Amino acid sequence: MQIVSVENLSIRYNSTDVFSGVTLAFNAGDYVALAGPNGSGKSTLIKAMLGLIEPAAGSVRIFGASPAGFTDWQRVGYIPQRLVSFSPYFPATVKEVVSMGLLSGKKFPKRLSSKDSAAIDRALSLMDIAALKDKKIGELSGGQQQRVIIARAVINEPELLILDEPTTAVDPETREKFFGVIGALNKSNGTTVILITHDTGSAGKYASKLLYFDRRVVFFGTFKDFCESPNMAEYFGPGSQHLICHRHD
Ligand code: ADP
């Protein structure tokens, strides 16, 4: 089943094409690393898929609907790259911040049920922050705040999770934990994951498919196919090709 697809998609800012004629589809259960140089259109592609940018031409389908007509946004989780840094005086506790992930999908009255409280506890222990539940978020370290943001994004068990890889301000342990949790969601829940990454060297350790985008689809397929592709050997040079594919130990 296709979760998101674009057909012949063209995006233009101020009459300049960022890309044109892009066609691709992400299937249920895919764990896609989306890589490419800075300014190559990765975020723009994601924004178009989420209906945040209007296509100049072509079409987008998300869960079978056009983004404009799609209303089930709690099926989609998004973790931004740049974390909001909470002021030490921000009044909300960890539990309250994570519960916002649930409330955003609710109609009024926005109250938490006991089922919701159980879901909050599950998300907190998944991220190893159960002990921080009643702490003010602004008093936590950057790495701990990151875990809270991830807990908030996964609490609804979204079917599609889009992440901008956090590259800065995250300690190695949180980073490993982050990839561990995302990988587990993908495997056990079948969550479709799109991970925008700047780290082509390690994406292959986690993801099952690579989309290499540079204002066009340079490559989209499994890491194994990437590794065996003569075109990619030519494009990247054989050394970099195998550094990226991570299929050799
Ligand atoms: P990436 O995510 O791969 O770094 P982006 O999608 O952010 O790339 O940007 C692709 C291109 O579109 C870049 O040349 C960027 O300068 C341009 N761009 C991005 N957002 C805007 C905008 N809001 N207005 C005009 N140009 C933009």
* Residue 168 reports pLDDT greater than 60: no
What is residue 161's predicted lDDT score, i.e. its pLDDT?
Answer: 93
Residue 107 binned pLDDT confidence (cut-offs 50, 70, 90): low
Q: How far, in Å, is the centroid of ligand 1 from the Cα of 42?
A: 8
Band the pLDDT of 120: cuts 50, 70, 90. Answer: very high
Residue from 6, 16, 18 whose mutation best tests the ligand 1 pocket (most atoms within 8 A of CB): 18
* Domains defined along the chain, listed by start: 2-84+158-245 (3.40.50.300)
Q: How many percent of the chain have pLDDT more than 70?
A: 92
Work out the mean pLDDT of the chain and round it to a whole number.
87
Which residues have CB under 6 Å of ligand 1?
Answer: 13-14, 18, 36, 38-44
Site to substitute for ligand 1 among 11, 13, 211, most atoms within 8 A of C-beta: 13
| Residues 22 and 216 sit within 8 Å (Cβ to Cβ) | yes
- Global pTM reads 0.86
| Separation of CA 117 and ligand 1 centre (Å) | 40
State pLDDT tens for residues 131-156: 999 999 999 887 788 888 888 888 88
What was the pLDDT predicted at 135? 95
Residues 188-215: tens digit of each pLDDT:
889 999 999 887 777 788 899 999 999 9
Confidence of residue 170 (pLDDT cuts 50, 70, 90): low
What pLDDT digit, counting tens, does each position of 19-66 carry?
999 999 999 999 999 999 999 999 999 999 999 999 999 999 999 999
**pLDDT at res. 51:** 92
Provide the pairing of β-strand 16-27 with 217-222: unpaired
Please report the pLDDT score of residue 109 as a whole number.
65
pLDDT at 237 > cutoff 60: yes
DSSP per-residue string spanning 196-249 = E-S-HHHHHHH-SEEEEESSSEEEEEEHHHHHH-HHHHHHH-HHHHHHHH----
**Site of tokens 């994406």:** 203
